[in-house]
Chain A
Amino acid sequence: MTQYLLNGLGLGAIYAFIALGYTMVYGIIRLINFAHGEFFMFGAYLGYFVLRDSGIDRLDLPQPLPIVLQYLAAVTAASLGAATLAVVTERVAYRPVRRAGRIAALITAVCVSLILQNLAVKAWEAKTRSYPDPRLWIAVADLGDRAPANLWIVRPFRTTGGDEIEREELVLSEGDPVDDAARARIRGTPDARVFKKITPSTEVAQGFVLLALVLWAPVLWFLVKRTRTGTAMRAVSEDMDAARLMGIPIDRIVSRTFFLGAFVAGVGGVGYCIAYGQVSPYTGFLPGMKAFIAAVIGGIGSIPGAIVGGILLGVAESIIPHLFRSELGWRDAFAWKDAIAFAFLFAFLLFRPTGLLGRATRVKV
């Protein structure tokens, strides 16, 4: 039972990260940014490329520093990249429709989401890619008599087609004696080193995301409550026209909101992919929708609401099917977990549309 609770918390933290972006954007311009899941996905891909190609892990620094640096670089690239994409999207697609009415804005948001998804498919193929495992490089001299784990080398390869590719080869299995033949093979490679793969377990990755959430929450609170930009954001979300009259530069504030929301989502993106080990152009779709539901549950427009909603949804998704299974003997319960998320959505929309922590808005005639 605790296991499922922990799974739920980890998943919930990821939903919370994404939900923050939804809620901030909705709060300020009353737009459900369907494309938010794609910002998340874009961040995840940037992280992927950094992890795969940057070579930071090969730097000659004491371990585990290269790995830590590589992850930091990945997260930074992901969040900055996602944030930039968000700002560009807002400028190009959402600003022109801001005055065009709800239906137009929503349709535009849906279209942007589809465009981004399919652009990703064109750029990176529709398949799932496995997230690269961090490589812990070990010099030949540092190897003992026996291989401490499965050890790999990297060998460049040229096909008759003329492509230059890099291939991983298993050179020693765990426990194999490190003999001269193996050493010679290792020295024959360009790096003259071996590496072992470190696969972060899902729990560890989820734990990190949870930790990141706990660290980020006060930072966000500070940004929103105590800085000028934050105050301006709150002002715009309360009454855009009044804020404009007070001299607040609406466009700039909206941009910054998008930036912040996507920045956080980018972090979530890398966390998600490390936890689940893969990325694809469709990675953003389902978590995006669930995070959106989480934002609604928590009260769309409310930042603490997004966090609460995210965690609640993640936990519910894990625990409820588990309970159905163990108490009611319902074997397939887990296949229905998406339906549970939607059921929550309906319930809240019908009975408490402002969510748990949202404010009720009054419509004046």
Chain B
Amino acid sequence: MSGELLWWLNLLVGVGIFTLLATSLNLINGHAGMFHLGHHGFWALGAYATAWWTIRLDGELSGPVLYGTSLLLSTGVAAVGGLAVGLPCLRLRGDYLAIATLAFGEVVRILIQNSDKGFLGGSQGVRLPRVFGEFEGEAAKLEFRALSLALVATLCVLAIWAISNFIRSGHGRRLLAVAQDETAAGLMGIDPTRPRVLAFVIGAAVAGLAGGVHAHFEGSLAPQEFEFMQTVKMFLIVVLGGMGSLSGCVVGAFLVVGTERLLARAGGAIADWWQVIFPMVLAIMIVVRPQGIFGRRELSDWFRALRRRRAAP
């Protein structure tokens, strides 16, 4: 029985990490309308920053402090990455931005892959020491996963709260205006630079945070896992949920990660074909129902509508 529980905890943490990734991708692509294909690069930056820090300072800082500071570092490093990408890419539009960001994602992976073994582990990957003590046996694993889940869930709530606040704020509105029609916004006196760069930085930071959590949870990293397919997966989540809806990201993450894990476990014909099916689903969704499940609406809008209906006689 504990095997089942372990599996579910694993799944939920995965959902949480991808929720963070999807919401941050959504901010850049959905709200800011910038075509960003290199999100896995920010994720990788965060994960590896955490790994580097944890390995360097293992033993010198206590468990929770090490964990916390490593997450701060991952967020910071990724945010800097977001700045580095956002600023130069301001001049690019549409397809060109897409290629540039895709290239960025790949370059991060290549840089890590070719790095010195001692620095970031290179192609062979890197192993993080368990900050709360190495564990042996089911009970310890269970405890660790439950703890991680609590943490990830909290971070998700915080991230969604932060992002939705950003969207409601002045910056966010300026961002939406620029995304809808840059020229018109320019005529209204809105400088597109700041909100766009902010979107990149915030999106990157959240992705970096997800990277840090991922690094600690998995316990080891390999550059090969930070490939373009991951960004496509995030896209599927965002499109499925609705580009522009935060609740959509959560639901999408559950559906996509859940299906993937269940299939991996079950095996069988569908699991074999998953790599073909999932891009097909995305392609079909994009044509047939591009607004996804929620469109631009949030779950809270649905509650509000329900309340209104109940109030009216």
Contact = CB atoms under 8 A, between A and B. Distances in A.
Interface residues of A, number: 38
The 8 closest A-B pairs by CB, nearest first: A111-B283, A111-B279, A114-B279, A118-B275, A118-B276, A104-B286, A342-B103, A342-B107
Interface stretch (A95-103, A132-140, A177-185, A236-244): A95-103
A97 B287 contact: yes
Nearest to B243: A103
Given A293-B103, A345-B103, 18 more contacts: A30-B95, A32-B99, A93-B283, A100-B287, A102-B35, A103-B35, A106-B35, A107-B286, A111-B282, A336-B110, A338-B106, A339-B110, A342-B110, A343-B107, A349-B92, A349-B96, A350-B88, A350-B91
Name the residue in A96, A104, A118 with the highest tally of chain B Cβ atoms < 10 Å from its Cβ. Answer: A118
Given A110-B232, A115-B276, A100 B94 contact: no
Interface in B144-158: none
B61 interface: no
Contacts, number: 92
B114 A353 contact: no
Contacts of A335: 114
A122 B106 contact: no
Contacts of B92: 349, 353
Contacts of B287: 96-97, 100, 104, 108
Nearest to B184: A365
28 contacts: A32-B98, A32-B99, A97-B287, A102-B35, A102-B94, A102-B95, A103-B35, A107-B235, A107-B239, A107-B282, A107-B286, A110-B37, A110-B232, A110-B279, A111-B282, A111-B286, A114-B275, A115-B280, A115-B283, A118-B275, A118-B276, A332-B114, A338-B110, A339-B107, A339-B110, A345-B100, A349-B96, A365-B183
Contacts of B37: 110
A229 to B, nearest CB: 25
Chain B contact patch, size range: 20 to 34
A267 interface: no
Given A114-B279, A365-B183, A32 B95 contact: yes
A114 B281 CA distance: 12
Contacts of B273: 122
B280 A345 contact: no
A349 B283 contact: no
A276 B154 CA distance: 51
B277 to A, nearest CB: 9
Contacts of A292: 99
Nearest to A341: B103
Contacts of A296: 99
Nearest to B30: A103
A130 B290 CA distance: 42
B270 interface: no
A60 B90 CA distance: 65
Nearest to A354: B96
Interface string A341-365: 0110110011001000000000001
Contacts of B111: 339
A121 interface: yes
Contacts of A103: 29, 35
B140 interface: no
B272 interface: yes
B229 interface: yes
A103, A112, A122, A292, most chain B CB atoms within 10 A: A103
A211 interface: no
A14 B223 CA distance: 28
B35 A112 contact: no
Interface string B226-243: 000100100100010000
Q: Which of A93, A102, A110, A289 has the most chain B CB atoms closer than 10 A to its own CB?
A: A110
B286 A108 contact: yes
A104 to B, nearest CB: 5
A204 interface: no
Contacts of A353: 92, 96
A149 interface: no
A215 B103 CA distance: 32
A112 B280 CA distance: 8
Contacts of B235: 107
A119 interface: yes
A273 to B, nearest CB: 23
